[in-house]
Chains A and B, each alone.
Chain A
Amino acid sequence: MSGSTIIFYLLAAFILLNGLLAVTTRHIFRAAIYLLFSLIGIAGIYFWLQYEFIAAVQIVVYVGGIVVLIIFSIFLTQQSGQELPKQKLGRIVFSALAAFCGFALIMLQVYQHTFTATTEQPVEASVANIGNQMLGTSDHGYALPFEVVSMLLLAAMVGCIVIAMRTPKEISDHKL
């Protein structure tokens, strides 16, 4: 067993343990922290696979952005220290059963299928290669999806502001 294998198993156990705790703990703030550790573990897997750019994006966007946003929304909407109500046992049992059955079905398919890898020369996933292809307009260029995503982000930003904004009536009520 090489060091690389041991690191993979440690990272996988870390991710799954923290993910499991994130969906089962009854303290909502702790759930956010467990989710944070799970996402950091996934960034570790990307580093392990030598996709350093994706790992950096994962840390910046998920750990630095989305988890902080989730923690802010917890502060805005929850009474701190309050535990979530207990779930019915039947619901827990049936959800676990459904999740396990789905997992078993997918893994059965995966182990029965033989994947054939390409034999061509691998391309290094460096930032220069990724950038050139992402903004390329020739074959296999991703310039059009890039522009579409930028429009989507703009629309989402405007949508967020409109949804979370108070209506003029609420503001005038607040002032009185």
Chain B
Amino acid sequence: MQIGLNHLLFLSTALFFIGIYGFFTRKNLVTILMSVELVLNSVNLNFIAFNKYLWPNRLDGVFFTVFIIAIAAAEAAVAIAIIINLYRSHQSIDVEKAEELKY
């Protein structure tokens, strides 16, 4: 059996919703960041799969993937700076402990 586009879409969708599940259940900011990375990776996989199977005459999916990787790196760096700052002021990175703006 030949591997088609649907197999890759199944893989990327499953990975996306694994990330969403982690996003819902986790309380720790670092683990939430890991879930976001999984989601971003599934999106990259989607772009590459569409480029490979539907538009092999172009390279647009490759460029989108490269730019998403660059933006994800910037996002991770900023998120970790925020996490370290939060830990410094709250001695914890649990999202339930940072609730000054809630009430």
Q: Which residues of A contact B (CB under 8 A)?
A: 1, 4-5, 8, 12, 15-16, 19-20, 22-24, 28, 31-32, 35, 38-39, 42, 45-46, 49, 51, 53-54, 57-58, 61-62, 65-66, 69-70, 72-74, 76-78, 84-85, 87, 91-92, 94-96, 98-100, 102-103, 106-107, 110-111, 115-118, 120-123, 125, 129-130, 133-134, 140, 142, 145, 149, 152-153, 156-157, 159-161, 163-164, 166
Contact = CB atoms under 8 A, between A and B. Distances in A.
A152 B74 contact: yes
A119 to B, nearest CB: 9
Contact of B48 (A46, A72, A84, A157): A46
Interface string B1-39: 111011111110111111111101111101101110110
The secondary-structure label for the interface of chain B is helix
Contacts of B21: 23, 95-96, 99
A31 B37 contact: no
A130 B19 CA distance: 30
A65 B15 contact: no
B67 A99 contact: no
A163 B80 CA distance: 10
B30 A49 contact: no
Name the residue among A38, A54, A111 with the largest chain B CB count within 10 angstroms.
A54
Contacts of B28: 28, 84
B57 A70 contact: no
Given A98-B20, A117-B55, A159-B78, 8 more contacts: A15-B11, A53-B62, A57-B66, A76-B87, A120-B57, A149-B70, A156-B75, A160-B80
A110 B49 CA distance: 13
B38 A66 contact: no
Interface residues of B, number: 70
A23 B37 CA distance: 11
Nearest to A154: B74
A55 B57 CA distance: 20
A4 B3 contact: yes
A45 B25 CA distance: 28
B56 A110 contact: no
8 contacts: A19-B15, A23-B34, A54-B65, A66-B72, A70-B37, A103-B14, A129-B59, A140-B58
B101 interface: no
Contacts of B48: 46, 49, 51, 54
A115 B25 contact: no
B77 A74 contact: no
A59 B90 CA distance: 34
A52 to B, nearest CB: 11
